[in-house]
Every structure is written in C-alpha cells, then in structure tokens.
A and B are shown apart, each in its own frame.
Chain A
Amino acid sequence: MSVLSHVGAPVGGPKDTVREPVAGQRRRRLLPYLLLLPGALWLALFFAVPAVQLAATSLYDPAGSLDLGYAMTWAFGNYPDALAAYWPQFARSFAYAGIATVLAVLLGYPLAYAIAQKAGRWKNLMLVCVVAPMFTSFLLRTLAWKTILSDNGWLVGLLRDLHLLAPDGRLLATPAAVVLGLTYNFLPFMVLPLYANLERLDYRLLEAASDLYASPVRVFRRVTLPLSMPGLVAGTLLFFIPASGDYINAELLGTPNEYMIGNVIDSAFLVRLDYPQAAALSFLFMAVILAIVFVYVRRAGTDEVV
C-alpha cells in the first residue's frame, strides 16, 4: 500500500475502503475470514456442536445406559421427569444466586464507587486488591470459609456470645453459609464492571445536582444510580450466571439440603451416569440462563458486557 492509496478514499472505516488493485482487494476481503477461521472453528466445534449434542442427549431413551449405548427416541418426557424430580434444586439455585446478587450489589456498589470517585492516588492499589484474592485458588478460598465458619471457630463463638446465634446454632452447613460463599466468590465480577462504569461518571453532574439543592440521597437516586445502570446490569449478569451454576459452595459449605442444580447435574453425569436426565437438566438450565441474558441484553445492550 502506498501513500496514494489513501488519497480519495471515501469516508468510512479507515482501512477497508481504501482503493487497491483487484488482487489486493480480494485478499483484503478474505483476510478477516482467515483471521477468524481458527478461533471460530474452535468455538463452533467445542462450544456450539456440544450444545447440539447436549440437546440430542437429553432426548435419548432413558432406558439406555453408558455401557449398552443410548437410542435416540426423541424422549421429550425426559424434561418433565427431570423437572419433577429436581425442581427444588432448580428453584434453590435461582433463589440463592438471587439473594447473593442483591448482597453483592450492596457490598460491591460502595466499593466500586469509592475506588472510582474517592480513592484518589490509591485507586490502582485498591483495584489490585479487588482482583488479588482471585490469585489464590477458588477451592482454597472456599475451604478457608469452611474454617472461618466452623462450629469451634472464632466467628461462631463471637456470635454466640453476642446472642446473635443460639448456643447450639451453626453457620456452616446452612443456607446462609452457601449464600455467603457465593457472594464472596463472585464479588469481583460485580465490582469490576461497576467500577468501569462509575469511573467515567462526570463528577460535575453530581456537583450541579447538589448546587441545585438536591440532598446527597437525592443526588444518588436521581443522578448517580441511573447513570450507573449499564454497569449494574453488566455486573449483575456476570455475577448471577456463575453463581447460579456453581456447586462448589453448596458442596463444601452446605449439606445435600442446600444442593443446587449444579450438584445434581454433576452427580447425574459423573456418579449416577444417567446421561439423558443430566443432559435434560443441563439444557433446561442453559435455556433459562440464556433467556435471562437476552432479556437483560435487549434492555441494556451488550456494550458493557462484551
């Protein structure tokens, strides 16, 4: 390409509208596809095709087994059967993840706001502190919560002394422990998009609002919060999706009474080896999550998420 090729290029994208010889033009048209091909192929082969395979597996004859093989009988009955057997775990997943999301907003919003608007020269350090806990293995952090919440740990002792917990009350192996674990483990996914949004917040707008005699609460409700909505939407999605699908917190901090849909899918695939039912549960779960994502994205756009 020479200098001349830039001259007279019509307005538009800086590169693809440049005039070139025919061979170069064809190469340029093919180039994006060549760049995309390996990655797109990988995603198609190992993300899209498996999703189709999952749907197919969910319709196999439930009478089959892994050793004898499965027959495709379009057994749509697998879905109502699976749902009838495991609706409590389904409901629990969304309930726990929902409560944890609310808690994560309550904890994450002030943190993101403080880093973005109040931290001054400590901004980068605080940001590193949000990500740093993730450098230690997810499982080890959850096991550490097991230590913190254990019956003879200091936290339970303190709460019992303060009569906030009955003398024989427990924290470990309760729904509260699982929700706390979920809130903890995925909190950075809430904070980071919120921070990215609040960092761009124009402080002068807040000053203008308070100059016009709005109280701090009113400034927050009428200016800050609406402006930070895209960040809140992105954070909620990035938090809710992994939290609802997680089964490590329920396994390590809860009991079978706290099991979520992930626990059921995991054991159906890996322990009970009931592939059609496991696939039906998994596919149903994906469908619900994707429905939530699309409703959200439609309202807020994908700009903040992708």
Chain B
Amino acid sequence: MRFGRWIAERWVLALALLVLGYLFLPIAVVAALSFNRPSNRLSYDFNEFTLDNWRNPCGPGDMCSSLLLSVQIGLLATLVATLLGTLMAFAMVRHRFRGRAATNLLIFLPMATPEVVMGSSLLALFVAAGMPLGFWTVVIAHVMFCVSFVVVTVKARLAGLDARLEEAAMDLYASEWQTFRRVTFPLVFPGILAAALLSFSLSFDDFIITNFNAGSSTVTFPMYVWGAAQRGIPPQVNVIGTAMFVIALLLVLGGSVRRRRGVAA
C-alpha cells in the first residue's frame, strides 16, 4: 500500500514535468532559431549557427519601430486600465450600492466574450461612427479588455486584506485619507502592480482585437510578426521573442526572491 502510494506520487510528478516540458518546447525552438541563419526566407528549419541576429536585432526594417509602438500602446493602455480598474475594484469590495449585480456583469462579460467578437463589434462601432482606425482606436480597445482583468486582480488582493488594520489606523486618529495613503494603498499596491503587469502583457501580446481595429498604418509587434509570417520571418523576430521571455522571467523571479527576503526580514 505504502509502496503503491510512493509510485503514485512520483508518477503524477513525472507526468507534470512532462507537461511542463511540452509547455517549454516551443520556447526552446524560438531560442534556437534566434541563433539560426535560415537557408531561405520561408524556411522554418534550423540551418546554421550564427550570432548575427543577436548582434543586429533591429536589422529588418520595420521590426523595431513596431516593437516601440507596442510598448507605447502597452504603457498607455496599462496606465488607463489600471487606474480605471483599481477604482472599480475599490467600489466593488468596499461599498454596498444599487446596481452592483449589473456592474459585476459588465465586468465579467468582456472576459467571457471571445476576442474575435469584441474586435469585430468595436470595428462595427468605429466604422458606424466614422472614427478613423489607428493608434487611438487600438488604445481604446486595449484599455477595454484590460480593465476587467485589473478589477479581478485588485479585487482579490483587497478582499484578502485585514480590515482591522484600517480600523486600527483610524482608532489611532488617522484621517480617512491618511489611512488610505499610509495603510490601505501600500497593502493593496502589490495587487495593483500585478494587475498592471498583467495588463501590459495582455496588451503587448494582443493580435486578434488589434488586427480588427488598427487599420493599415498602425503595425504593432504581433501584427508585424503576422505580416512577416506570410512573407518569411526574419530570424531577428526570434531574438525579440527570446529576450522578452528572459526579461519577463527575471522580473518574476526577482520579484519572488525579494518577497521571500521581505518575509524573512
């Protein structure tokens, strides 16, 4: 019996590691292809090792400008979505009010609607309203689909907060504003930061909704990759993919190490 359980435990863990391997397989391929000198433009196979792509990441014409555009849109959308979403999360957790169920539905529905539907319905609106497609329509769309995720993330943090800490602050004669600034906000801040990171990565990686609302002249990084996939992918695209992966991983691991230190101290 005990032996059986021992096997069972290792069996599940081994299967889990295999699934993680499956998740990482394409990342390994992207990293490998970043060191590849492709035999021709439309080839996706590994040909010859080179460091050229890493030495000259901005080689292909419009790639780095599309990257910059994605960062700009991502930052702007994140700023607005985080602000709007955080305010909503405070209202939802800290207040009772009429129309709560309707608001909940309004927040939930964008997360339950396929991107292709949101993208196409926004396009129908922009066309009907005669609004020219471009940078601003993309920002509007990105803020729209990020807000709900911000609300959910910040709400989770706020709901887990010990209300007695705020009561203690007020009992010690802190004003409402002081309590918010010195107690509530610092405690909720990690949730807001997580929400902002989530927003940025959602916005930065979005293709479907952007594709509907960008028009022809606003080319974000995913749209650049999409276009390049038809013409032949420059290997530098894989350099960007690998670099993004490494940077994000360092950010996350760095954050968790700092948190652990913080707990120990």
Contacts and interface: CB of A to CB of B under 8 A. Distances in A.
A144 B26 CA distance: 5
Interface in B22-65: 22-27, 29-30, 33, 44-46
Contacts of A31: 91, 95
A53 B87 contact: no
Interface string A242-273: 10111110001000000001100110011000
Given A50-B124, A152-B45, A136 B30 contact: yes
Most buried by B among A119, A132, A138: A132
Interface in A259-306: 261-262, 265-266, 269-270, 275, 278-279, 282-283, 285-286, 289-290, 293, 302, 305-306
A38 interface: yes
A181 B12 CA distance: 24
A14 B212 CA distance: 45
Contact of A110 (B12, B107, B229): B12
Contact of B121 (A130, A152, A247, A282): A282
Interface of B: 4-5, 8-9, 12-13, 15-16, 19-20, 22-27, 29-30, 33, 44-46, 83-85, 87-88, 90-92, 94-97, 103-104, 106-118, 120-125, 127-128, 140-141, 143-144, 147-148, 151-152, 163, 167, 170-171, 173, 175-176, 201, 205, 207-208, 211-212, 221-222, 225-226, 229, 233, 237-238, 241-242, 244-245, 247-249, 252-253, 256
A43 B106 contact: yes
B45 A245 contact: no
Contact of B26 (A145, A216, A237, A262): A145
Contacts of A302: 104, 108
Interface in A214-252: 216, 237, 241-242, 244-248, 252
Contacts of B151: 39
A54 interface: yes
A201 interface: no
B30 A141 contact: yes
Contacts of A25: none
A147 B225 contact: no
A279 B116 CA distance: 11
7 contacts: A128-B252, A129-B20, A133-B24, A142-B26, A146-B44, A184-B22, A305-B111
B88 A285 contact: no
* 5 closest Cβ pairs, A-B complex: A245-B114, A114-B16, A144-B26, A32-B95, A135-B248
Contacts of B25: 144, 148
A153 interface: yes
Contacts of B20: 111, 126, 129-130
B23 A130 contact: yes
Given A262-B208, A290-B112, A305-B111, 17 more contacts: A32-B96, A39-B85, A43-B144, A53-B125, A110-B12, A126-B16, A131-B252, A133-B23, A137-B244, A138-B207, A150-B45, A153-B45, A216-B8, A245-B116, A245-B208, A262-B116, A302-B108
Interface SS of chain A? helix
**Secondary structure class of chain B's binding surface, majority of residues:** helix
Nearest to A33: B97
B91 A282 contact: no
A32 B116 contact: no
Nearest to B46: A147
A140 B124 CA distance: 29
A210 B136 CA distance: 60
B115 A242 contact: yes
Contact of A53 (B96, B106, B109, B121): B121
A49 interface: yes
A124 interface: yes
Contact of B225 (A66, A132, A139): A139
A147 B117 contact: no
